[in-house]
């Protein structure tokens, strides 16, 4: 589709960049003013737009936006930063000289970077350039928030399958599982695809403490206790195994379940460990037990296959003699997993995870009978202190269906083979090894140079493991979206130099020395290579044009980093400031140019096809080359090689339960992304105040009426919200909203103090004393609290 010009109205194909859905849209301007965006049905993600997308002009023309670079003139932490407008020249010169100074005095690692999320902000437009900038600068410390966002589904998953969760093949799925993922509020295109699958007759399983989105229409809605998903997954798996409701052939041939594990070391048995090693096996080969000939068979790690054709036993315990004559007792990995699942029979799952025993059995049967199964899990499972093992438990459960990479399972759609310009190659291994999060775990986000905020605060405040002195924040609003905002405020106040780019002035940006005003997506060009969710979406390459020019002096993050790169002495890595040249470099392998894309604003589609069953050629990118039911990698890093369920760090089964009897979780709302958009009048009218949902009985027991202001109290802090009744919730669970700080000038609503008990900052209720030992995730969704009515309302 082309740009249309009718009188003073221009209609240009584009896409909305506000969230992960990236819905195709038509951008409309009239007399040079941006008046809105509309659905673009021919676009693979363009069937509909949500309320946020429809509010686009209010986002662009909002008076609470920042339009000029600023510098602070008063001390950090002062209520009034004393902002003074400065020129871009001055802002960028000062930024470059301070970053240079810290880099030359303490190394680039002494400057950390805060990045907001590409899943919930339009930073996705320029994220590749920001990453390139950080890598070229040389810092291994990026606070991306990945540990509370996407790390589990994208990276923990790879410890089981060798790759991320990949996309559900909605169009061919016979059963869709939404596990802690509510696309109705968070990913419009996923919701549309789920609805179509449902209409086609696919079955649906929803695991969510709240009866929201598709829960009411699901074949099984499992109302899990927040943070107990691991126990639920083991329980369902146990029923599948006990009843033979699993794909035996896939598990035998494509998982490491048949490999034998030594009971004494909890590591795989090696051929050299035994006195009579299997024929044809090398010393380092692993060992399984052949079901027919009843003897050991070698498994070559190098070739990623058994040394001879075999039908290995899945459930087996065997003993061998070591070369020195000692007995070595072994059990197959799958046998160990089965033993673990046996600890969670349906009635125990009911007691631990609060899901009725009957539903555990019914879900197990459904998962087997309605194959192929596809699934997506997200924030519901990622924001707990046990999140990594929960991901392992769910991915292992899903392996039992045998739907991996099958049509209708989770598949890797083909992607246009463009050049990756994120610049990972600029960061040397030595520099990478300095990531401050690596002291937590060598398996976690630190491997990629991503750090948890708790570790960032510790590095700034205590100099552990070394001092972080400077911070470059691209949007990230630590104080509101991360646990322990009070500690965050102390850390931000201590920084020697802090520069922050954002659209509005947030509580985090208010601590900066220099503020850089960023434009909105409709004021800049952006290249999108592949949209998500289906093969046609992945095949599309689109260059969104700017509907209007940037308001005030605002600029894109791309412009900022391209200019800074030159000032910092690595302009050559940034095409000497020429963004178009950089974009052409991305496209070069496709033999496409920017001009090709500019002349086709609706995008250009390539002809990629999904590569089903790729593992049949390549195996799995894991240590054993198989799906890892048992992870020796975890064992060697001091973690449990099996997905054992660990109670969340704060739990209703602890001594404090009498003081804090309610489990506290949270979720996103359709009207806003995280801490954004409260300044948008049409959105704020729909959702004017922060809410905490509870069962009417829970409220009645506390003398709380619907709509009353209440105080939520935890060991760590307090926050005020309006009580909302939700009879679908378990009486022991409440769900609060986060992200509330901003006022709305047009509606005359004042801001909430994000660092005060009388404010509405959910994440001040959350302690970061406990973190997931691998990912560093914090229990944003499995805290414990008490709630009481307050008289006189909130101080808004």
Q: Which residues bind ligand MGD (CB under 6 A)?
A: 19-20, 116-117, 119-123, 145, 148-149, 179-183, 185-187, 207-210, 212, 224, 226-227, 229, 378-381, 383, 474-477, 481, 501-504, 506, 518, 557, 665-668, 670, 672-676, 735, 738-739, 762-763, 780-781
The least CB distance from residue 52 to ligand SF4, in Å, is 4
Residue 49 or 377 having the CB closest to ligand SF4 = 49
370 binds ligand SF4 (CB under 6 A): no
Q: CA geometry: angle at 771 spanning 766 and 776, to 5°?
A: 115
Q: Calculate the alpha carbon distances from 19 to 57, 278, 483 in Å.
A: 16, 54, 22
The least CB distance from residue 719 to ligand MGD, in Å, is 10
Structure tokens at 351: 């007691």
Residue 50 or 111 having the CB closest to ligand SF4 = 50
Other Cβ atoms within 10 Å of 35 Cβ, number: 15
Residue 738 or 741 having the CB closest to Mo ion = 738
Residue 52 or 210 having the CB closest to ligand SF4 = 52
Residue 55 or 202 having the CB closest to ligand SF4 = 55
Task: Name every residue whose Cβ is closer than 8 Å to that of residue 114 and which is 6 or more positions away in sequence.
Answer: 142, 143, 456, 471, 472, 473, 474, 475, 476, 478, 500, 508
Rounded to whole angstroms, the Cα distance separating 55 from 18 reads 11
631 binds Mo ion (CB under 5 A): no
The least CB distance from residue 686 to ligand SF4, in Å, is 14
Residue 149 or 435 having the CB closest to Mo ion = 149
Rounded to whole angstroms, the Cα distance separating 83 from 71 reads 5
The least CB distance from residue 675 to ligand MGD, in Å, is 3
The length of the chain, given as a count of residues: 796
Please write down the HEC assignment for all residues of 350-417: HHHHCCCHHHHHHHHHHHHHCCCEEEEECHHHHCCCCHHHHHHHHHHHHHCCCCCCCCCCEECCCCCC
16 binds ligand SF4 (CB under 6 A): yes
The least CB distance from residue 567 to Mo ion, in Å, is 32
Q: Please compute, for residue 339, the number of CA atoms within 13 A of its CA located in the half-sphere on the CB side.
A: 13
Residue 47 or 702 having the CB closest to ligand SF4 = 47
Q: Calculate the alpha carbon distances from 553 to 70, 548, 574 in Å.
A: 11, 13, 22
In this structure, are residues 568 and 100 in contact, taking their beta carbons and an 8 Å threshold? yes
Residue 19 or 785 having the CB closest to ligand SF4 = 19
Binding residues with Mo ion: total (CB under 5 A): 3
The least CB distance from residue 225 to ligand MGD, in Å, is 7
Q: From start to end of 116-211, where are the E strands?
A: 142-143, 167-168, 175-179, 203-207
Residue 622 or 767 having the CB closest to ligand MGD = 767
The least CB distance from residue 602 to ligand SF4, in Å, is 17
Burial of 576 (0-12, 13-18, 19+ CB in 10 A): exposed
Please name the residue ranges forming H helices in 557-689: 557-567, 579-587, 594-598, 615-618, 632-636, 681-686
381 binds Mo ion (CB under 5 A): no
In a 3-state reduction of DSSP, which class is residue 146?
Answer: helix
Strands 203-207 and 175-179: parallel
677 binds ligand SF4 (CB under 6 A): no
Residue 239 or 557 having the CB closest to ligand MGD = 557
Q: Which does 630 bind (CB under 5 to 8 A by kind): ligand SF4, Mo ion, ligand MGD, none?
A: none
The least CB distance from residue 670 to ligand SF4, in Å, is 8
The single residue among 22, 338, 384, 528 that binds ligand SF4, judged by CB under 6 A, is 22
In a 3-state reduction of DSSP, which class is residue 328?
Answer: strand
The single residue among 10, 13, 14, 19 that binds ligand SF4, judged by CB under 6 A, is 19
In this structure, are residues 376 and 179 in contact, taking their beta carbons and an 8 Å threshold? yes
The 144-173 site mask, x for binding Mo ion (CB under 5 A), equals -----x------------------------
Residue 141 or 676 having the CB closest to ligand MGD = 676
53 binds ligand SF4 (CB under 6 A): yes
Burial of 281 (0-12, 13-18, 19+ CB in 10 A): buried
Residue 53 or 235 having the CB closest to ligand SF4 = 53
Angle, in degrees to the nearest 10, between helices 387-399 and 229-242: 20
Taking CB under 5 A as the criterion, which residues in 104-133 touch Mo ion?
Answer: 117, 119
50 binds ligand SF4 (CB under 6 A): yes
Rounded to whole angstroms, the Cα distance separating 190 from 23 reads 11
55 binds ligand SF4 (CB under 6 A): no
Structure tokens at 3: 């740009």
The least CB distance from residue 229 to ligand MGD, in Å, is 5
Q: Would residue 7 be called left, alpha or beta, if left means φ above 0 and alpha means ψ between -120 and 50 degrees?
A: left
Which stretch, 17-25, 419-427, 504-512, 599-607, contacts ligand SF4 (CB under 6 A)? Answer: 17-25
Q: Which does 179 bind (CB under 5 to 8 A by kind): Mo ion, ligand SF4, ligand MGD, none?
A: ligand MGD
Please write down the HEC assignment for all residues of 664-718: EEECCCCCCCCCCCCCCHHHHHHCCCCEEEECHHHHHCCCCCCCCEEEEECCCCE
Residue 182 or 255 having the CB closest to ligand MGD = 182
Taking CB under 6 A as the criterion, which residues in 229-288 touch ligand SF4?
Answer: none
The least CB distance from residue 480 to ligand MGD, in Å, is 6
Taking CB under 6 A as the criterion, which residues in 181-240 touch ligand SF4?
Answer: 188
Nearest to 173 by CA among 199, 212, 152: 199
The least CB distance from residue 119 to Mo ion, in Å, is 5
Binding residues with ligand SF4: total (CB under 6 A): 11
Positions that interact with ligand SF4 (CB under 6 A): 16, 18-19, 21-23, 49-50, 52-53, 188
């Amino acid at each position: 589709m082309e740009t249309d010009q009718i009188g003073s109205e221009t209609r240009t194909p584009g896409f909305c960049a506000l969230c992960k859905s990236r819905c195709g849209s038509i951008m409309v301007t009239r007399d040079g003013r941006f008046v809105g965006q509309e659905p673009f049905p021919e676009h693979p993600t363009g069937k509909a737009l949500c309320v946020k997308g429809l509010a686009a002009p209010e986002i662009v023309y909002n008076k609470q936006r920042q339009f000029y670079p600023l510098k602070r003139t008063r001390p950090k932490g002062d209520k009034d930063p004393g902002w003074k407008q400065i020129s871009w020249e001055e802002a960028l010169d000062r930024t470059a000289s301070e970053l240079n100074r810290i880099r030359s005095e303490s190394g680039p690692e002494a400057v950390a970077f805060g990045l907001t999320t590409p899943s919930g902000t339009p930073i996705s437009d320029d994220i590749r350039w920001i990453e390139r900038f950080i890598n070229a600068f040389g810092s291994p410390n990026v606070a991306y928030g990945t540990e509370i966002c996407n790390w589990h589904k994208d990276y923990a998953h790879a410890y089981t399958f060798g790759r991320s969760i990949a996309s559900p093949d909605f169009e061919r799925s016979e059963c869709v599982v939404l596990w802690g993922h509510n696309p109705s509020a968070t990913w419009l295109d996923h919701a549309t695809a789920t609805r179509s699958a449902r209409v086609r007759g696919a079955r649906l399983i929803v695991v969510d403490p709240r009866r929201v989105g598709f829960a009411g229409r699901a074949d099984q809605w499992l109302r899990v206790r927040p943070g107990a998903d691991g126990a639920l997954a083991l329980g369902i798996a146990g029923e599948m195994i006990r009843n033979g409701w699993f794909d035996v052939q896939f598990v035998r041939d494509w998982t490491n379940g048949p490999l034998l594990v030594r009971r004494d070391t909890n590591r795989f048995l090696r051929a050299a460990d035994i006195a009579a090693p299997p024929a044809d096996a090398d010393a380092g080969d692993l060992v399984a037990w052949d079901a027919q000939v009843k003897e050991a068979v070698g498994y070559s790690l190098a070739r990623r296959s058994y040394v001879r054709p075999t039908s290995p036993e899945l459930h087996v315990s065997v003993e061998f003699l070591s070369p020195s004559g000692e007995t070595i007792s072994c059990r197959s990995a799958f046998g160990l997993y089965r033993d673990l699942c046996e600890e969670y029979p349906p009635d125990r799952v009911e007691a631990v995870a609060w899901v009725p025993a009957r539903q555990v059995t019914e879900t197990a049967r459904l998962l087997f009978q309605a194959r192929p199964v596809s699934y997506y899990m997200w924030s519901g499972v990622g924001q707990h202190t046990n999140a990594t093992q929960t991901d392992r438990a769910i991915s292992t459960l899903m392996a039992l269906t045998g739907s991996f990479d099958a049509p209708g399972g989770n598949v890797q759609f083909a992607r246009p083979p463009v050049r990756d310009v994120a610049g990972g190659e600029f960061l040397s291994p030595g520099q990478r090894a300095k990531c401050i999060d690596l002291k937590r775990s060598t398996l976690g986000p630190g491997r990629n140079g991503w750090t948890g905020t708790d570790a960032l605060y510790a590095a700034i405040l205590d100099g552990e493991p070394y001092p972080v002195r400077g911070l470059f924040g691209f949007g990230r609003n630590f104080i509101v979206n991360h646990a322990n905002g009070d500690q965050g405020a102390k850390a931000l106040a201590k920084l020697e130099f802090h520069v922050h780019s954002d659209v509005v002035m947030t509580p985090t940006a208010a601590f900066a020395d220099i503020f850089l005003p960023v434009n909105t997506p409709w004021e800049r060009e952006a290249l999108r290579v592949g949209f998500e969710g289906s093969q046609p979406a992945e095949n599309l390459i689109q260059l969104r044009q700017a509907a209007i020019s940037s308001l005030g002096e605002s600029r894109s993050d791309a412009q900022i980093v391209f200019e800074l790169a030159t000032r910092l002495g690595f302009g050559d890595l940034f095409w000497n400031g020429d963004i178009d040249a950089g974009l052409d470099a991305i496209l070069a392998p496709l033999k496409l140019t920017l001009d090709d894309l500019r002349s086709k604003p609706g995008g250009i589609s390539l002809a990629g096809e999904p590569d089903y069953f790729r593992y049949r050629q390549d195996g799995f990118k894991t240590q054993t080359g198989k799906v890892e039911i048992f992870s020796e990698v975890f064992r060697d890093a001091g973690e449990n090689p099996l997905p054992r369920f660990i109670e969340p760090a704060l739990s209703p089964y602890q001594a404090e339960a009498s003081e804090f009897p309610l489990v506290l979780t949270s979720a996103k709302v359709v009207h806003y992304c995280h801490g954004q958009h409260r300044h948008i009048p049409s959105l704020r009218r729909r959702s004017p105040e922060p809410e905490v949902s509870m069962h009417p009985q829970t409220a009645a027991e506390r003398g709380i009426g619907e709509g009353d202001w209440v105080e939520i109290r935890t060991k760590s802090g307090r926050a005020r919200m309006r009580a909302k009744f939700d009879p679908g919730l378990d009486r022991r669970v409440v769900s609060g909203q986060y992200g509330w700080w901003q006022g709305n000038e047009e509606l005359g609503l004042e801001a909430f103090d994000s660092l005060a008990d009388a404010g509405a900052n959910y994440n001040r209720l959350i302690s970061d004393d406990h973190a997931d030992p691998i990912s560093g995730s914090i229990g944003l969704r499995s805290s414990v609290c008490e709630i009481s009515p307050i008289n006189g309302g909130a101080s808004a």
